């Protein structure tokens, strides 16, 4: 089941999120430094950003 959800995440990421070259370099550097891969998925980050912006508009 997890594999299917991963495929769904990958699909939405490819359709909705532009590739960020700087972000890719940061993630690669984190991996080389041995940091844990606890990053927020790009789609989750976009959702959080949208929620944040919506909250700021209402105020």
CA distance 49 to 42: 10
Cα gap 31→43, rounded to integer Å: 20
pLDDT score of 29: 95
In this prediction, residue 9 carries a pLDDT of 84
- Per domain, the residue ranges of the chain are 2-58
Question: How many other C-beta atoms lie within 10 A of the C-beta of residue 17?
Answer: 14
Judge if pTM exceeds 0.85: no
Q: How high is the pLDDT of residue 50?
A: 86
The tokens of 26 are what?
């940061």
Q: Which of 12, 42, 6 is nearest to 27 (CA)?
A: 42
d(C-alpha 31, C-alpha 12), whole Å: 24
Tens-place pLDDT, residues 3-49: 998 888 888 888 888 888 998 899 899 999 999 988 788 888 888 88
């Amino acid at each position: 089941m997890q594999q299917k959800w991963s495929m769904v995440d990958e699909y939405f990421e490819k359709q909705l999120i532009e590739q960020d070259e700087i972000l890719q370099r940061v993630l690669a550097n984190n991996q080389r430094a041995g940091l844990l891969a606890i990053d927020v998925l790009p789609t989750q980050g976009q959702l959080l950003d949208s929620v944040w912006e919506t909250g700021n508009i209402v105020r």
